[in-house]
Amino acid sequence: MTIGKIQTFALLLIIFSCSPKQSDTPKTKESFKYEEFTIRQLQEGYSNEKFTIEEVVQSYLDRIAAIDDSGPQLNSVIQVNPDAIEIARQLDEELKNGKSRGSMHGVPVLLKDNIDTHDKMETTAGSRALLGSHPLQDSYVARKLREAGAVIIGKANLSEWANFRGQMSSSGWSGVGGQTKNPYDLSRNPCGSSSGSGASVSANLTMIAIGTETNGSIVCPSNNNGIVGIKPTVGLVSRSGIIPISFTQDTAGPMARSVTDAAICLNALVGIDSSDSKTLESDRKQEEDYTSFLKADGLKGKRIGLYKAPYGRNFKVDAVMDAAVEYIKSQGAEVVEIEEIGANEVGQYSLEIMLFEYKDGLNKYFQSLGPNSSIKSVEDLIAFNKSDSIELERYNQKFLEMAQEKTSLESEEYKETLMKMLKGIRQEGIDKVMNENKLDAIMAPTGAPAWRTDRTNGDSFHISSSSPAARAGYPNITVPMGVIEGLPVGISFFGRAWSEGVLLEIAFAYEQGTKHRIVPRFLNSNY
């Protein structure tokens, strides 16, 4: 063993000796019957009549009240569905009559509160400007989940406007929901912008949550909250009825405690939607059943690129990642080191594209709310925030103001910048790297352990690997990789467009062979 390997091994002993075991998890008020349940366990219980959907949904609602609203006060759920119990009863009646809608039948789900529902719940993006806003129809995602038999039990808190409002913001804060906390340590941050989605799944407040990502907003909160997150290829899941940032980069995706549950939910979400032209590109590229890729030997024979750019920023994360790489090699995969993916200027191109598309997308969304909405444009939103006593108390709205200055999507500046970005990160980025090295996927640490929430200075990111896949619109899956001083960190697998199946093979095999998921302990409950 070399000196470097000895040092790494010693560090890992220190890290894992400080990590809590699942059996160390303290009880919060009372034990939760469905803690760490999987979708398949839930379906088996329904089939064997061990419990009803109504009982399950009521238990989750009670846990939200005990953990989120009082007790640790996670602030991960922005509102609960007043019709959840009635929906559960209807689904129970269907089961009594011999009808099941499939594997999502009776599964409790939380939606990030930038995803429209046409019911008694509001859709606010966490903004006080949209309090009382009731969309005129379900989002495509909400409709697909209802058709699959899922019970939408509420809406999850988020970084307001999906964390693209202003500078020095704190992930997980919104004017409506306040600051979401990390269930492992309440003084630390859940990351965002799908903050409530990540925290609620990890804390067993829901079976599944749906997040959205433009760049990092599914994978980062999955990292910080010790869960699985799938950011699909843009176009695999429709964005209609989701408050937008970027037409080019936005997507919704499942967040779960296991790869299997995430894959089951992904099956329910995919589809071609005439209201979202990006989904037309998924025709004949989506898989019939994503769970068919869940193979224990999914690493065998794979050739995986190790993206080195995140290395050197946190030696503890480097050590855990090195251990993951060694395990992956031991399972029959070949690992090739990759130093760079795409040119440096791609990041600036992406920001410009987001600003152009943000203005266009928000204005169209506000118009979709009908004549009763008081906010009809980005200009109106900016004015509202200036007049509100809470919205700009700590954080500004610089990105909204920058977006307002942009011209239309018909401008040559926009079209040229979009072409440069996609060429730089696709043809000359991920596609080039994967083709030249004959790769099945690329891997990297998803992030560092959660930082302490700082409402004065904002977020303190140390490591992120989300940008290449996000800017390309390509898929990315993160799973728990290990624990550093009681805080989880994840590993990301990303690759070519429409390669979710291959990524699921790799992610599932790694998850099943390592099982790094741990139950949160709600430390620093007085924070």
Active site residue 96: no
Contact assessment for residue 223 and residue 480, using Cβ atoms and an 8 Å cutoff: no
Contact assessment for residue 102 and residue 113, using Cβ atoms and an 8 Å cutoff: no
Q: 92, 27, 91, 32: which is closest to 61 by C-alpha? A: 32
Rounded Cα distance between 36 and 55, Å, is: 17
Residues in the chain: 527
Query: Which of 127, 197, 217, 466 is flagged as catalytic?
Result: 217
C-alpha distance across the termini of the chain, in Å: 44
**CB-CB neighbours of 364 under 10 Å:** 11
Q: Can the peptide bond before residue 193 be classed as cis, meaning omega within 30 degrees of 0?
A: yes
Contact assessment for residue 75 and residue 157, using Cβ atoms and an 8 Å cutoff: yes
Active site residue 302: no
**CB-CB neighbours of 374 under 10 Å:** 13
Tokens 């829901």 belong to residue: 206
Query: Which of 193, 464, 466, 492 is flagged as catalytic?
Result: 193
Query: Which of 76, 103, 112, 171 is flagged as catalytic?
Result: 112
Report the run of H or E that residue 349 belongs to, with start and end. helix 346-368
Active site residue 202: no
**Phi first, then psi: what are they for 305, rounded to 5°?**
-85, 135
Rounded Cα distance between 428 and 342, Å, is: 6
Contact assessment for residue 364 and residue 256, using Cβ atoms and an 8 Å cutoff: no
Helix axes 259-269, 39-47, angle to 10 degrees: 80
- Residues identified as active-site: 112, 193, 217
